[in-house]
Structure 1
Amino acid sequence: MLVALLLLLALSNASKVYGDFEQCGLNPKLDPRPHTVSILEFGAVGDGKTLNTLALQNAIFYVKSFADKGGAQLYVPPGKWLTGSFNLTSHLTLFLEKGAVIIGSQDPSHWDVVEPLPSYGRGKDVPEGRYKSLINGYKLEDVVITGNNGTIDGMGSVWWEWYNSHSLNHSRPHLVEIISSNSVVVSNLTFLNAPAYSIHPVYCSNVHIQNVSISTPPESPYTAGIVPDSSDNVCIEDSNVSIGYDAISLKSGWDQYGITYGRPAEKIHIRRVHLHAFSGSAISFGTEMSGGISNVLIKHVHIFNSNSGIEFRTIKGRGGYVKQIVISNIKMENVHTAISAKGNCGSHPDDKFDPKALPLLNHITLKDIIGTNITIAGNFSGIEESPFTDICLSNITLSTNSVSSTTWECSNVSGFSDSVLPKPCQELSKPSNSSSSSCFYLMSLGEQKSAGL
């Protein structure tokens, strides 16, 4: 009778977690726009030297007139199109033809300076504001950034030099940042040399990122690939990311600013991606997660040549939560730390944070993971006042090298494991039984929901 009740509770909880959410199964229908204009019609010159910011701005202003007529496509033909930051509009498709390269100017005066995001309270690199991203959207509806494998190149080397030399006046820009928008598609493009993040949807709903290739050099400091930030109903699929720091990073605000803003990152699917994170993590949660992160399904991921495979990061003062995460069918090669969860990771935006704002991390399931040439299998370092709980590990085989004599490190964490090699630390070695049935039934239900996706 007790087992039946536990099963019923588990299924009830699982239905609340997953519902009918299958975002990656809902491929956006990209109907052709009824109108098309070319940036050439507005005086753009693709010689890699002429600044085209005004031409792009004028073209997008013209495209606004078609918003109530089904929208329009702004066509970028082959060429090298130098520009500063510019804004998109609703019901727009920005289309980069094969051989088209949008190049970010290396002159900071060509980038507008804007206020910090409200869930962060300050710039990430320096407190004083931030440079607007190369391609921006604010409160948009139905915007598509796509092409025939065109390229967006942020020319980030000067920004990395300024970051390393502590000479930035404002925080670095991103390549694409879409804010407070609905129905966003980014697909079939190559992103190179982002000053900071490559793709940053923040406060958005219904975001589909598909078939993109993202790259920055290994030495690029704290660059990230795809960063879903306080956004919901997000799909990331069929993409390749090779980056200096974090390949895919889920975030939701920084300390008291994120707590006050109160918008979680939730209902996120990630599948069929190849990830390389040189000094960071292939998939990271946080450190900025004060608005909460939940309902995340990750499946069929190849992680290689990375410092960390999957990492959960937080610290006292963050508040928020990371919960109801299911990660399965992962292949790792040449990864220093395969899986980690750290409760002492990250900094604070200022001294106004509440040290009693303790983050919660629970109901994390990792299943069907194979790793070769792994140095450390797992590092779980929870918070004494708020331990990490319900960490579920199943069918994990990690072939470790001889570099480290310690394969697992654990403190202030509890969970369950089944068929895990090398054997986890005692805190995570409890066998699957009636007391952990909720954890493993959530896992299996999540698997059913994402089957075939």
Structure 2
Amino acid sequence: MSTPRVLCLTSRTAAILLPADGAYFALAAPLAWTLEDAGGGLVMSGTTDIVALFLDDLTPDSRYILRTPIGEVEFLTRPCAGLIDARDFGVSPEHPNNAAMLAQAIAAVPTGGTLRITAGRYLSGPVFLKPEMTLLLDSGAELAAISDRADWPQLPAHDETGRVIGTWEGLPERSFAALLTAIDCHGLALTGCGIIDGGGDRGDWWDWPKETREGARRPRTVQIAHSSGVSLSGLNIRNSPSWTVHPYRCRDVTVACIRIDNPPDSPNTDGLNPESCTDVAITGVDFSVGDDCIAIKAGKRGPGDNTHLAPSRNIAITHCRMQRGHGAVVLGSEMSGDIRDITVAHCTFDSTDRGLRLKTRRGRGGMIADVRCHDIVMTDVPTPFAANAFYHCDPDGHAPWVQSRAPRPVDATTPEIKGIELRDVTAHRVSLAAIALLGLPEAPITDVSIRNFAVSFDPAAQPGLPLMADGMEPVRHADLIAINAEVDGQATRIAEPEADVPC
């Protein structure tokens, strides 16, 4: 059993991990806790049934001790250079668009200060944040995007220095600004028990998922670019027009104790998409979305200049719950800048189409490598582990040069997948294939290690396609599909509720 540890601190909130034995996203049994001040006085107490505990209404620059049956942790909240109440600048639930007033309030926040949004539902167009500030949404506060995109700000593909600002599926493209847009916002914190509603269910955002209108692509709900030392904690972020939270070219990002919730039929509403980011920690996040829950990206190779490509590295995903969605944790398919050193641990995947999913295709180039997935429980996931180098994305995805099973010359556009480890994984009621790997004949998937992978199959399952690639045959209850892939290890079939029996 590990002791509690701090995940994220702001001046008025704290996210704490309570890693009791048997804990994934939920605890095996509820855990009581008390919070004391430095003098030993009781501040608050409660019981939690999930592993990541979020505390709010704390005092800046103050020492606290959290006590639990599994141990205690002491922490010091961050100082606050000044608290700004958005209402003092005219922000009101009665106003049809609070964007201008919020901009004035943000401008008034001192470096190291906090902008507070109190209880109420506030409609707004896109808001641009600034460095070294905290945006705090109180319990009962909701920042909700307006439905009308007339005069909605747009982000250019590149700024005046040539840096990529607006993106779409791995390429520089003009896009509508996010409800919360942060560029060069080092030291930014978004926190609180409130709601950020991207307004995807209002207006027509979901009616044109792959189109360009008014010269721009659909917005995210939270977009953070070229920033470091960024944290998101406590919030409920929902109804995104497209990808929900999109850190781009960021370093040192912490996401803890938040919920991301989009309708199951909403198009391309991935939950969290770190793209070309380094040193990212995602802990205790609850996902229920219309596309991939977490999709790690690294840019897409395009014609001509590919200086926008950069790797995603050192990303840890722990104690999260992924529900619905096309994939639980997905790498690619925009991965031309490399995706490396990824850890997924102590998570539950419930009713996602696939569990751990790697996807790429000829023309991408780049590498997926050093991926570790362990201590995972999956339920009703048709294909728990899928790696596909023939993913038929983009307009030319079904072209013969992409889908041909004959070897092609290896060059800079040939993607590579290697160094994947699955350990201590249990998958209940699998319908299609426990493991489905399809590598390129000219660049096979290599160094795949499977250890202690236990599987049961859904007796009511119907045949289906485990991978989105041309020429695949429907399957049902397949143990292992490995084409142009080297696999070391084996799975165990569970005859539930009886003991394990070998495949």
TM-score range, shorter chain: 0.7 to 0.9
Number of aligned residues: 390
TM-score scaled to structure 1, two decimals? 0.80
Q: Which residue of 2 aligns with 1:333?
A: 379
Q: Which residue of 2 aligns with 1:406?
A: 478
Paired residues for 1:40-119 under 5 Å: 40-47=87-94, 49-63=95-109, 66-67=110-111, 71-116=112-157
Paired residues for 1:257-406 under 5 Å: 260-278=307-325, 280-348=326-394, 356=411, 357-375=413-431, 376-402=433-459, 403=461, 404-406=476-478
| CA distance 1:125–1:288, change in 2 (3 Å) | closer
| CA distance 1:125–1:248, change in 2 (3 Å) | closer
- Partner of 1:255, secondary structure, is coil
Higher relative contact order (CA 8 A, sep 6+): 1
Provide Cα deviations, 1:289-322, integer angstroms capped at 9, x if missing partner: 0111111111001000111111000001111111
Taking the aligned partners of 1:290 and 1:282, their CA distance within structure 2 comes to 21
CA root-mean-square deviation? 2.6
Paired residues for 1:183-222 under 5 Å: 183-222=229-268
Paired residues for 1:122-137 under 5 Å: 123-124=168-169, 129-137=174-182
Q: Which residue of 2 aligns with 1:151?
A: 195
Match of 2:488 among 394, 413, 416: 416
Provide Cα deviations, 1:237-295, integer angstroms capped at 9, x if missing partner: 011000011001100101147953342100111100000133x1011000000111111
Match of 1:231 among 277, 283, 286: 277
The answer to whether 1:163 aligns with 2:208 is yes
Taking the aligned partners of 1:97 and 1:292, their CA distance within structure 2 comes to 39
Corresponding letter in the other structure for 1:284: V
Match of 1:176 among 203, 218, 222: 222
Q: Which residue of 2 aligns with 1:138?
A: 183
Does structure 2 conserve the Cα–Cα contact (< 8 Å) formed by 1:400 and 1:407? no
Q: Which residue of 2 aligns with 1:450?
A: none
What is the CA-CA distance between 1:208 and the residue it aligns to? Answer: 0.3
What is the CA-CA distance between 1:139 and the residue it aligns to? Answer: 1.2
| CA distance 1:203–1:161, change in 2 (3 Å) | closer
Gaps of at least 5 residues in structure 1 are 1-23, 423-453
What is the CA-CA distance between 1:161 and the residue it aligns to? Answer: 3.5
Instruction: Give % identity.
Output: 26
TM-score scaled to structure 2, two decimals? 0.73
Taking the aligned partners of 1:186 and 1:264, their CA distance within structure 2 comes to 22
Q: Specify which structure has the higher proportion of helix.
A: 1
Corresponding letter in the other structure for 1:44: V
Provide Cα deviations, 1:352-406, integer angstroms capped at 9, x if missing partner: x999411111001011110111112111011111111001111001101242153
Taking the aligned partners of 2:312 and 2:244, their CA distance within structure 1 comes to 18
Gaps of at least 5 residues in structure 2 are 11-77, 403-408, 462-475, 495-503
Taking the aligned partners of 1:126 and 1:418, their CA distance within structure 2 comes to 39
Corresponding letter in the other structure for 2:207: W
| CA distance 1:40–1:206, change in 2 (3 Å) | same
Does structure 1 conserve the Cα–Cα contact (< 8 Å) formed by 2:171 and 2:300? no
Taking the aligned partners of 2:273 and 2:439, their CA distance within structure 1 comes to 24
